[in-house]
Amino acid sequence: MGKMAAAVGSVVSLATEPGEDAFRKLFRFYRQSRPGTADLGAVIDFSAAHTARGTGPGARKVIRSQLSVSSVSDHDAHRAGLQPVSKWQAYGLQGYPGYQWHWVKQCLKLYSQKPNVCNLDKHMTKEETQDLWEQSKEFLRYKESNKQRRRSLLEKLRWVTLGYHYNWDSKKYSADHYTPFPSDLAFLSEQVAAACGFQGFRAQAGILNYYRLDSTLGIHVDRSELDHSKPLLSFSFGQSAIFLLGGLKRDEAPTAMFMHSGDIMVMSGFSRLLNHAVPRVLPSPQGEGLPCCLETPLPAVLLKDSVVEPCSEEDWQVCTSYLKTARVNMTVRQVLAIDQDFPSEPTEENKRDITTEGFCHLDDENRQLKRTKLNPDS
């Protein structure tokens, strides 16, 4: 830390040019730096990260990351002029977690509030579900000293719907059950969609899933949205899960993949209507711990036009206590194509002509069934 302070001190001692930002300041600092002096003390040296030399301030930011050794044969590595993957060393940098804390806090503190809809509404009054966060935060903050306690309301939360609220019974969205979609989540979604080639994506509906370590999400296809040409975005936080991505039909064996905290899955094109499921949420390898990408101090400053807001230490304590044994997943959907409207409800007369087959998919039914598993309290 001493070296870091020295380096930062030197940077600070440089005269700030008008309109200069933090990046530009360090750019100038390193342009002028003197090799062999303390100037370079804060530069991360990956080759020294796990040796005695690797004790500089930067070394603490470096984490070893795992490679998929079995994905590349020694022979293919050799053909490419590379060592076997088992000899490679891969590193990640701590402190580049993005702003996961913001979304976790929104899911727990803000999006769980009315007018959004949640699984607890079925059994509880509006007053009782009005502020799940307020009712749960002290329980959660003192969870460790209080293992035998009842579960807090936040721990009983299983799903929240946003925007056009998904109706689990009819498996439909409708024009008359809509509340404003959170603007920060809409903005995040639009950026991610655009980066994937979907300019003009509109975040119109969200399903937030709150998993405990024993929760599962059954095999299903998300086909209730009316425009399947738009992607479905899925953001994961907290404990890792195994995600199974199958085919168009259930008889196709799925591919298993980890979904770690901070991962974003985009289901688009052919994969938009594939079967998928979450059969397992994995407990933290350290017992009740946080993924290391979440073990980072909250930033002191944010951009002036940031859509993410500051998070207090106190709020983050509640979130981390919750996340030690939980996973939160946000899925964001565009329901309607531009200029599309919901179909008008069939008249009583016409209803008789609609076979159940047309409206009720086995997959969806199955999903509903398993949702109940994710949602033991509804």
Binding site for Mn ion (CB under 5 A): 222
Question: For ligand OGA, which is the closer residue by CB, 154 or 281?
Answer: 281
Residue 299's nearest CA partner among 3, 146, 63, 97 is 97
| Residue 111 within binding range of ligand OGA, rule CB under 6 A | no
User: CA-CA distance, 128 to 108, in Å (whole number)?
Assistant: 16
Q: Residue 333: name the closest of 191, 243, 201, 211 by CA.
A: 201
Q: CB nearer to Mn ion: give 190 or 363.
A: 363
Is 209 among the residues that bind ligand OGA (CB under 6 A)?
yes
Residue nearest to ligand OGA (CB): 329
**Residues in contact with ligand OGA, shown as a per-residue x/- string from 133 to 162 under the rule CB under 6 A:** ------------------------------
Minimum separation from the CB atom of position 21 to Mn ion (A)? 40
**Residues 246-275, mask of contacts with ligand OGA (x by CB under 6 A):** -------------x----------------
Residues 168-207 as x/- pattern, contact with ligand OGA by CB under 6 A: ---------------------------------------x
Helix (H, G, I), strand (E, B) or coil at 77: helix
Which of 139, 198, 237, 243: binder of ligand OGA (CB under 6 A)?
243
Least distance in angstroms from the C-beta of 221 to Mn ion: 8
CB of 207 to Mn ion, least distance (A): 8
Q: Which is nearer to Mn ion, 26 or 266 (CB)?
A: 266
Which residues, 295 to 334, sit near ligand OGA by CB under 6 A? 329, 331
Q: Tell me the sheet residues that pair with 212.
A: 326
Is 222 a binding residue for ligand OGA by CB under 6 A? The answer is yes
Please pick, from the candidates 186, 188, 244, 278, the single residue that binds ligand OGA as defined by CB under 6 A. 278
192 in Cβ contact with 236 (< 8 Å):
no
- What per-residue string of b and e applies to 145-161 under the rule 16 or more CB within 10 Å gives b? eeeeeeebbbbbbbbbb
Strands (E), the chain: 62-64, 91-93, 117-118, 159-163, 205-212, 217-220, 232-238, 241-245, 255-259, 264-267, 276-281, 326-333
Nearer to ligand OGA, 97 or 246 (CB): 246
Q: Which is nearer to ligand OGA, 93 or 264 (CB)?
A: 264
276 is an interface residue for ligand OGA by CB under 6 A: yes
Residue 326 binds which entry of Mn ion, ligand OGA, none, with Cβ cut-offs from 5 to 8 Å by kind? none
CB of 260 to ligand OGA, least distance (A): 11
Other beta carbons within 10 Å of 93? 14
Q: Closest distance between ligand OGA and the C-beta of residue 329, in Å?
A: 3
Please state the φ and ψ torsions of residue 358, each to the nearest 5 degrees. -60, -30
Alpha helices in the chain (DSSP H): 2-13, 22-31, 74-79, 100-105, 126-129, 132-141, 153-156, 183-195, 313-323, 348-351, 356-359, 362-374
**323 near 341, Cβ under 8 Å?**
no
Q: Contact, 203 vs 190, CB < 8 A?
A: yes
Question: Helices 132-141 and 313-323 sit at what angle, rounded to 10 degrees?
Answer: 80
Q: How many residues comprise the chain?
A: 378
CB of 364 to Mn ion, least distance (A): 11
Regarding 117 and contact with ligand OGA (CB under 6 A), the answer is: no
Peptide bond into 291 cis (omega under 30): no
**239 near ligand OGA (CB under 6 A):** no
Q: Check residue 59 and report its DSSP letter.
A: G
Q: Alpha carbon 303 to chain centroid distance?
A: 21
Alpha-carbon gap, residue 100 to 367, rounded angstroms: 28
259 binds, among Mn ion, ligand OGA, none (CB under 5 to 8 A by kind): ligand OGA
Residue choice 100, 112, 136, 234 for contact with ligand OGA (CB under 6 A): 234
Using Cβ positions, the residue closest to Mn ion within the complex turns out to be: 222
The residues binding ligand OGA (CB under 6 A) are: 207, 209, 217, 222, 234, 236, 243, 259, 276, 278, 329, 331
